[in-house]
Every structure is written in structure tokens, then in C-alpha cells.
Structure 1
Amino acid sequence: MELISPIDLMFLLAESREHPMHVGGLQLFEPPEGAGLEFIRDIHAAMLTHEDVQPTFRKHPGELFGGIANVAWSFDRDIDLEYHLRRSALPSPGRVRELLELASRLHGSLLDRHRPLWETHLVEGLNDGRFAVYTKVHHALLDGVSAMKLIRRALSEDPLDSDVRAPWSMPPRPRTKDKQSSSALGDLVRLTGSLAAFGPSAVTLARGALLEQQLTLPFGAPKTMFNVPIGGARRCAAQSWPLKRIVAIKEATGFTVNDVVLAMCAGALRAYLIEQDALPDRPLIAMVPVNLRTEDDASSGGNMVGTILCSLATDLDDPAKRLDAIHASISGNKEVFSQLPRLQQLALSAFNIAQLGLAMLPGLGSAAQPPFNIVISNVPGSREPLYWRGARLEGNYPLSIALDGQALNITLSNNADNLDFGLVGCRRSIPHLQRLLGQLEDSLVALEEAVGV
């Protein structure tokens, strides 16, 4: 057995029926020309032959001394792949709507803790001949970025590659010496040290930034219909947009792709809240993960990710002014953030998200002021088209976690020439989630018209 690290333990202890703590993904494939009815059956059979399951996909919480739970991982020697890999068919008429309804039900159900904490579902029956794969993995095993990288490794850039690789059998890539010496416990120790490093100089800088450059800090967000205790059922929505449309706005304004994406989301959220008669007077605040890597880090391993808060300017009706305000907010915050030493950047990031942990405690979720209103995250994907036994990956939609106080999550990833959006909401708290897809399109059109592209 292997002791569970404090970070992994956090995700296990936070889980309840109302708070499934897995990350997921929905992939949509176009079969190759000439593929018959047996194509998915053959993929399913080929995947079942991958019995060399890697340790990450063998573990689940075990017990020590006959009853102490959530202390150590238990590793199953024999994996029941027919349980973890499932084949499903959609009901008639087999639209994307039925696919998303199935994904919503799967994403809202808990993983069985007596078995390794993952599932993969092959889904056929789409009326246009495509098929889908829904996968979920407990956050205690993998985070969303790691899961996305693993899925990408199981695919190929060669449409003629006939191999069927399974993510659970992909061996880990060789690690550098620096990576081998790191651990989750070590990361936690270093983070604790960074909190101590968030001392007078950083406080002075943050105070000056707040007064002079308007650094966005937690707890300035209005309370909205998104910031409520949640139930256990989920609703998922997904759609792709051509990356060239976002790039055209970027080039017309001189801003970044992320600025445009945030403005696209802001316009959609404003329209959705107006429709629900729930738009607050103050602008919504988004938490945005950012890359902390510098040129000096180019050859180093590991991830350097921080969190920055950004005003979404949802109080502004004009899409061009809203985009300008978002650019000013995120770029100003990045500028201030970049002036902090690395440890203090991590400390401020931890401070930004600390309230999410408190919100999981009974009685605090509804009383606490939200540190921000929504997480909008961009997970790196592939720049090249990907294939699976010749089937082209048409959509790769990340599906993340909803929490008490954060009933809606927007995550996106680039997939060749597209940006693929995955939306996850509490089914009770976020009615008609699918309407946000149309509102995202309307928001993008309004941005295009506003900047003249």
C-alpha cells in the first residue's frame, strides 16, 4: 500500500453525493471512410486486450489495520476492464442533445471507491454516424491537464495509424531528475513556505497595486445565482468554435486570444443572467489560471500555474467597451502579478482560491462571500488534428467540477483549428444551461461586429 498524499486526500475528503470530485472529458469522433457497423465493436474488443494497466489506474482508497480509511492507496492486481470500459448506445433520435444528456448523467454519478477510480464509455448511436467517448477520472488520481495530456498520447497525428491505444495502459514518460525529486507532499511544504513568504514587501506591493493599478483581489465579487450550495445532479453542454474567428478579433484589437475568450464568455453570462432576471449591478469576477513560466524556465520541468482574478465587465452593455475593460483588468493584474517573486505569486494564488476549501465545510457555503463568481479555464490541447484508428477527433470537450459556491464551470481547450468549450453546471441551480451555447455564439458575433471583422 502507498500513503495518500495530503493533496490527493483533500479531493477524497471533499467528495460527497452533492460534490463528485472527478474530472471528465467528452470526445466526438468521425469514423474513417468505409467504416462499417463493426468499427466501434472492434475498438471495444481491442481496448479490452490492454490488460497492462498502469499503477495510477489500479488504485483506490484502502484501509489500514482493518478499518482506518482514506490513509493509503490499495492497488488492485486484477482489473475488471469490462466494468471500467463500457459500451453504450443513444436512444432515438440519436442527436447531440441525447449525447449530452447521457454525459450529464454520467458526470453527476460517483465513482465506486471499492474499485480503481475511473470509467470510460464508448457511445454509439449518433444519427450522423459519429461516435463518442466519455471518460472520467477522480481528481485524486489525475488533474484535468494531466488527463488531457494522457488522452492526447493515446491518439495519433497519423490518420493511417491503425493501433488502438488505451489511456490506462500508457506508460509514464521518463521524468527529469528535478521531477523525480518532487512529490505532492513536497509541493505542499513548498506552498506552505510560500505563504510565509507572502510578507510585508508583497503586502505593500499588493496594496499599491490595489490603489494605483486596481489589482483584483478576492471577495469583491457580487453574490449571484452561480454562488450557491449545489445538488449532486449535473447538466453538461459542449460546442466548438473556429479558432480563426477568435484570432481575427485578436488581430483587429491587438489583444490576446484569452482576452477575446473572456469577453465572449462575459457577454454570454450577461445575457444568461438578464434572461434569468439575475444580473447584478457590479461586474462578475472570474478566476483565470495563468502560466507563470518565464524564458529562464524554458528548459525546466514541472508546471508553474497561478491564479489571477479578472473583472468580466458584465455591467457594461457595449461589447467593445466590455472587451477593453476585460483587457485592462487581466493585463493590469498580470503586470502586477509578474512583479511579485515566484513564491509570492504562488502564495497570492493560494489566497485567491482558499475560500473554495472553506465553502466545502457544512454551513459555510451559503454564508460566505464568494471570492469570485466563476472559473474560466483554458486547458492546452493539440494544435494538429488527432486520430484514433483513423477516426478523426472532431470535438474534445473538457468537463470539470462544480462546487458549493461555484455552480457553473467553463473549461475550454484548443483542438486543431477549433476551440472546444465544455460547460458543467448544477442541474438544480443552473436552469437551461444549453442556452449558454447560443449566447456564446451571440456574444462572439457581437464582438465581431463591434471590432469590424
Structure 2
Amino acid sequence: MSPQNLVWLKMETSDTPMHLGVLATFKIPAKADKDYLSDLATSMREGGEAVAPWNQRLSFSGEGILGSRLLKDDHFSLDHHFRHSALPQPGGEKELGILVSRLHSNPIVRDGPLWELHLIEGIAGRRYAFYLKVHHALIGDVNLLETFMASLSTTARQRDVRPIWTLPLPNKQGEEDEASDDNLAEHGIDTSGANNGIDQFKSVMKPYTFEALKKSAFQLPALSAQFSRNAPRSTLNRKINGQRRFSTFHIELARIQTLADATQSDRKQVLIYLCGTALRRFFKEYNSLPDESLIAMAPVSVSALGDTESVRVLKLLRLPLATDVGDPLSRLEVIKASLNKARQVARTLPTPLSDGYNIVQSINMFSKQLMGVGRFVPKGFNLTISSTDGCDSALFLKGARLETIYPMNHLMQFSALSIDCVNYGGTLNVGVVGARDTLPHLQRIAVYLGTALNELEELVLGDEVVS
């Protein structure tokens, strides 16, 4: 396994399970018979055998986590990973949210392949859903949303089902161990003996020392400003347990674009504004809004600037959400300036400095996971926000149209909230994952996203607002 994936295993605790999730809802075809969902489940079970890494389990050597590898599971049972269940009546969004929150709270058992797929029926309005859960160590940097979408078809006429466990992941080796070893050997990494994970880690980290990375990261004033101050003390940065809550927000992308055009912004800036405004209202309601702005950790892509020569992404940039600014339009201007500045850093930062910066930020983030240490680590951010470009056209599964799709992130200690977004079929789909006992009434954040959108439309568009 790669050093990055080993880190995800090492960081996992019962309070901070390190899996990612996807919730997708589908509309049953109008002419489908009563056996549609049972036939779908059967088609998926008969759709093909699992391939690597979906059929692989962890194998530990005497070196513990660093000596772990992925090996083919000779006792793989699809029934253990693909499960069919139903919501209690009335099968509304509340019941779906309760079920998915519970599923997302439970860590993945490590004695088999690190994933689960749940087919959920009984949703009101002739709908059903899939909840996919995959451990971060299994997929690495592979985008789970894109992987799930790749298993769907672009036309309702296609009735063949391609279960996700039959699709190899990008940049993943085949199921034979020798193939993985040969690939590592080509890069000068010794795969003999039980120290394979340790050898990989040393090989990758050899060019870097903490002091060298720290020195390079501070060479640019614009970059060092990212370290200039800690995030404010907030409820979001308390110690969390393993229980999660999940809520969603779904809106037409055209409304976001109209606001972006009217305010000389772009869609990402409007999205960050909505998040900041919703959080300001949420914490004011509980009289716990910090005097200083909440800070989000977010990937920033220079491609959003229209730079066709580079699509490099600088991860883990800190973005103030202007939650300390009372006037909505002033808040939007502060966010626009902040995001533009972060993009400028992403555009001009040389690759070695980018690598160094990411590692320095990661060390801070991962240190908060250490028992007895995390509460003393400076808080660089309060929450995470991410956005993914999904698919503009409609997708289908056995004739059923994909209606909504939501990302579900993991949480780390002292960071109790993650807001994750994806564009699909002309809509913006936002998944909000929070620590249940830290953030009561989490669904209000999703409600306040809609409130923030409506209020900005009234301020900017006035009589032009279309319901």
C-alpha cells in the first residue's frame, strides 16, 4: 500500500472512522413492475465478479500498519458487502437521513474488503437509493463520486448493469501481488520481506525533511500568510465521537450562475458565500458565533481562473468565510477577494513548494488525531469545504434516472463539520456531514443554505427573482 493510504489506516479510531460515502437517489421508471428492485438486486449480484481492489483485504505483517498490504480475499462474500434494505414508512427524507447517518457512523470492519454498498428501497415518490461506503485507504486519491458515476449509463435504454465492484479503479494495480511488486520495483522500491510499507514510506519521503519543507513553504509571503493565524475557537473544534449526522441541500445550478453573473463573481465564490452565511446564522442561533471569521480548509483549483495551460490543484488552502461580516454584500466581497488571493497562490506556487506546503499542512491536520496531543495542536481551520465537477448530462441505472447524488466525507478530531458539493445534471448537490453530539440540529445548516440563497437573490435581483 502507498504511504498515503497507510496513514489513513493509522489515523482511524472508533471516534474517527476514515471512510468516504456517496448517497444517490433514483426515480423508478414509470412502467416498471413491482419486482423492479428485486430484479435490480439480482442483476447486480449476477453482474460479474469483483476485481481488485474490491476483492482485496488487508494483510498485516509483524511491522503493524506500516507492513500492511492488500491481498486477494479468498473468502470474499458479496452478500457481506452488497446489502438490500427498506426504509420504514412514510419513507421520507427524514427516515432516509436517519438510516444513512447511522450507516455512515459505523466503521468498516477490517477482516474483509473495505467497502459496503446498500440498496435502499421504500422511499416516497417511487424512488430508491444507494449508499456506498469505501475506506479512504482502499481508494487513495481516486474520486469516489466519479467512480460511482462511471458505473451508470448515459441512456435509459441501456439495461445492462455494471456493478461498481466489477470496475477497476484508476491507478490501481491488478489483483495479483506480483503485478504490484513489479510496478514498485520499477520505481526503485524494494518489495522483499515484511518491511514493504516501511520501504515505500522511506523511498517517497527521502527527498523531504520537515525542516526543509517548512523552509520552502515560507519562501513566498503569499503562502506564509496561510500560516499567519490560527482559526478562532469554535464549537466545531471540540473533541468528537464516532456518531454522525447527515443532511442535504439540492438546487438548480442556473440560480447559482445567475447570482454569479449579477455580482461579477463565479459559482465557487457564490457557493463559499452561501456556506459562510448559513454558518453565521446557525451559530448566531446558538449564541456561539466567534468574533473572528470561521476558516474552512478547501482545495483550490487554478483551472477556475480559465488558465488552460494548467489544471494543477493546490490542496488544503485556508479560506476565511467572512462569518464576522454582518452585511451580506460586504461578506460576498470579502469572500471573493479571499478566494482570488488563494487562487493566485495556487497559480504561482512552484510544484516543489506546493508539495512542501501540502505536507506541512497535513502534518498539522494529522497531528490532531494523536491521542493526548491533538487538543494542543494549533487549530488551522474550523471545517472543510470541497466541490467536485460531476456530470452535466443525466445518468441512469437499469432505466432509472439518477436524481440526486451527494458526497459524504469523513471527519477528523477537532473538526466536526464537512460540507461537500458536486454538480450533476444542472443541479448543485450539497452533502453536510457533522458530529452528532457536537452539532445538534445539523439539518438547519442545509435549510440555511437555502435561506442564504433566497436572501441574496432578493438583494441582487429584486423583482427578477424567479421562484
Please give the TM-score of this superposition, normalised by the length of structure 1.
Answer: 0.89
Q: Secondary structure at the match of 2:413?
A: coil
The answer as to 2:159 corresponding to 1:149 is no
Q: Kindly state the Cα deviation for residue 209 of structure 1 after the two structures are TM-superposed.
A: 6.7
- Aligned residues of 1:219 and 1:372 also touching (Cα < 8 A): no
2:262, 2:460 within 8 Å by CA — same for their partners in 1?
A: yes
Contact 2:407 2:421 in 1 (8 A): yes
Q: Answer whether contact 1:194 1:344 (CA < 8 A) is retained.
A: no
Question: 2: distance between equivalents of 1:365 and 1:153?
Answer: 38
C-alpha spacing 1:252/1:144, structure 2 compared with 1 (3 Å):
farther
1:67-78 matches, cutoff 5 A: 71-78=68-75
Q: CA deviation at 1:93?
A: 1.2
Structure 2 gaps of 5+ residues are 173-182, 190-196
- Residues 146 and 253 of structure 1: CA distance in aligned 2, closer, same or farther (over 3 Å): same
What's the offset of the Cα at 1:205?
2.4
Q: Does 1:11 align with 2:21?
A: no
Equivalent position amino acid for 1:35 in 2: A
The aligned counterpart of 1:22 is 19
Question: Partner of 1:242 in structure 2?
Answer: 252
For 1:100, the aligned partner's letter is G
Structure 1's unaligned 5+ residue stretches are none
What CA distance in whole angstroms lies between the structure 1 residues aligned with 2:99 and 2:265?
Answer: 38
1:12-411 alignment runs, 5 A limit: 12-64=9-61, 71-143=68-140, 145-172=142-169, 185=200, 189=204, 193=208, 198=213, 203-206=218-221, 215-217=225-227, 219-291=229-301, 295-297=308-310, 304-411=313-420
Judge conservation of contact 1:358–1:364 (CA < 8 Å) in 2: yes
Q: Is the 8 A contact 1:197 1:344 kept in 2?
A: no
Tell me the distance in 2 between the aligned counterparts of 1:354 and 1:315.
28
Give the ranges of 4+ consecutive aligned residues of structure 1 lying more than 3 Å apart after TM superposition.
67-70, 171-175, 179-188, 190-202, 292-298
Q: How far apart, in 1, do the equivalents of 2:206 and 2:380 lie?
A: 20
Distance 1:443 1:379 in 2: 21
Contact 2:249 2:450 in 1 (8 A): no
Provide Cα deviations, 1:419-451, integer angstroms capped at 9, x if missing partner: 101111111101000111111101111222232
SS in 1 for 2:39: helix
Report Cα offsets for 1:25-78 as digits up to 9, x if no partner: 10000111211221111110011113421111122222336x956522232134
- Letter of the 2:358 counterpart: S
Aligned pairs, how many?
Answer: 437
- The Cα of 1:334 is off from its aligned counterpart by 1.8
* Compared CA separation, residues 62 and 261, structure 1 to 2 (3 A): same
Q: Structure 1 residues 311, 304: CA separation in 2 closer, same or farther (over 3 Å shift)?
A: closer
The separation in 1 between residues aligned to 2:126 and 2:216, in whole angstroms, is 60
Distance in structure 2 (CA, Å) of the matches to 1:58 and 1:85: 12
- Normalized against structure 2, the TM-score is what? 0.87
Question: Aligned equivalents of 1:242 and 1:358: distance in 2?
Answer: 39
Equivalent position SS for 1:366 = helix
Counterpart contact for 1:195–1:344, Cα < 8 Å:
no
Cα offset, 1:149, TM superposition: 1.6
In the TM superposition, what whole-angstrom CA distance separates every residue of 1:252-290 from its partner, at most 9, and x where no partner exists?
A: 122111100000000000011011110010001111102
**RMSD, matched Cα:** 2.6
Specify the SS of the correspondent of 1:135.
Answer: strand
